[in-house]
A and B are shown apart, each in its own frame.
Chain A
């Protein structure tokens, strides 16, 4: 499977590097908002993976690599391994650059944008979101192809966002069974708000349970996603 990752690396490496450079330039803008940095950070993985898929589709190389001594399951699993490696590389880029940048840039706009990133909750949140994006997108890609898969995925994200907001409103305002999550404080800097929310979960559950729960949810998501992707790809004809 690492051979498949090497193939993707050779095909996409310069554009992956461009994404890394873009991110690096981006965090040196006085944004003030940590959410933008976090969103851009999470999108580095998704963007890098998309570039690989776009190259593959543009060059119509799928049939070539499907003709090599590989099963469909191995090809799909290779993509998941690649996504995992990209997520780790993204983590190194994001958190590796946030710490020195924070030390160098003392202006409040930088401190408020990059500050929330320098926490264990942000790192866990990043890996969870990266995993969630990949796990949600790849089955749709293997089922519908790149263009329709992307559309379905983005529609799903919008529906999910609206659903979460609706449930939060119903539970906090109508049923009054939980306190409001999206308070004015949260909405002032949603990135910091999300990190604080994760911190409150960690404190309530305790660190080992919090980590175990996160890993379990993520593993279940990825395994389900992998199973679906393999099923769809095994039906694909070239």
Chain B
């Protein structure tokens, strides 16, 4: 089956920031989490997929088709939620729906009204009167009402309370139950992705650090805690990032099994969370 998204050698140069040679694939029927610190390039990647930015090089294929050559066809199969949902603030939700729905041939008003009820969003309410969480819910309702095959969500959970975050994650899990539907979900709240993502792509300073199945990542990567002897020359190559305290050292390895074999029982080795991985890979080189 064709992939939902295939990105190869994607480049974008802003002068002071460069997205360099970004490549990854989102297989159909899965949720891909795009993680990275603020300013890593997550939103740039998403905007390039939606053709909101001009790429300087590389290829973006959605459902096997180049986004530039088949923009209308491809976009009609994508549902999107931007990091900050901007709509005409003075319009009611019903009117806002009327400004978006006609562009989708597959728009289903019944789904939209069902979602509005489930999300407890009154159609007569003005957009300006909604809280951030409600605005996100409305954007999600629009994205889900045209039977999109791919959802692209840019930081949809940032600034939202845990109740709505869980609700959103449940909704995304339900979305991919329908085979062939996929989600690309960017966030820096990694705990959200640990719950639902099948694949993780980690981006930092405009480059891909890794892109792999989540279970494989959580299986292989580990945090090692021990004394300063951990930093002996022969151990150093095990670490992808290190934090030194006065009397102890903590480090991240991408090969937990090898570390266990090499370091034995003198150190504590724990499974790394996505947050640990993000932290050590971006900040893990100095003293605390």
Cα distance A64–B53 in the bound complex, in angstroms: 13
> CA separation between A11 and B71, bound complex, in Å?
25
Q: Is residue A215 contacting chain B, with contact meaning CB distance below 8 A?
A: no
Bound state CA distance, A172 and B129, in angstroms?
Answer: 62
The listed residue (A7, A69, A71, A235) touching B99 by CB distance below 8 A is A7
B8 proximity list for chain A (CB < 8 A) = none
Given that A59-B88, A61-B87 are contacting pairs, would A69 and B80 also be in contact in the complex, using a CB cutoff of 8 Å? no
In contact, A59 and B76 (Cβ under 8 angstroms): no
Q: Is the CB of B91 within 8 A of A11?
A: yes
Hey, which chain A residues are within 8 Å of B91, CB to CB? 10-11
Chain B residues in 8 Å Cβ range of A71 = 71-72
> Are B52 and A238 within 8 A (Cβ)?
yes
Contact count band on B: 20 to 34
For A68, the chain B residues whose CB sits under 8 A away are 75, 100, 103-104
A66: Cβ under 8 A from any B Cβ: yes
Q: List A contacts of B85 (CB < 8 A).
A: 64
Q: Evaluate contact between A10 and B99: CB separation under 8 angstroms.
A: yes
Which A residues are in CB contact (< 8 Å) with B75? Answer: 67-70
Asked if B86 CB lies within 8 Å of chain A CBs, one says yes
Q: Does B102 touch A at the CB level, under 8 Å?
A: yes
Q: Which residue of A lies closest to B86 (CB)?
A: A60
Nearest-neighbor residue (CB-CB) of A3 within chain B: B102
A237 proximal to B (CB < 8 A): yes
Judged by a CB distance under 8 angstroms, whether A55 is at the interface is: yes
Contact B53 A238, beta carbon cutoff 8 Å? yes
In the assembled complex, A6 has its CB within 8 A of some CB on chain B: yes
B contact residues vs A (CB 8 Å cutoff)? 47, 50-54, 71-73, 75-76, 80, 82, 85-91, 95, 98-100, 102-104
Since A66-B52, A74-B72 are in contact, a sample of 7 more A-B pairs with Cβ atoms closer than 8 Å, ordered by chain A residue number, is A11-B88, A63-B82, A64-B86, A67-B52, A71-B71, A237-B52, A238-B53
22 pairs, CB–CB < 8 Å, chain A vs chain B: A6-B102, A10-B91, A10-B95, A10-B99, A59-B86, A61-B88, A64-B82, A64-B87, A66-B52, A67-B52, A68-B75, A68-B100, A69-B71, A69-B103, A69-B104, A70-B71, A70-B72, A74-B72, A237-B47, A237-B53, A237-B54, A238-B47
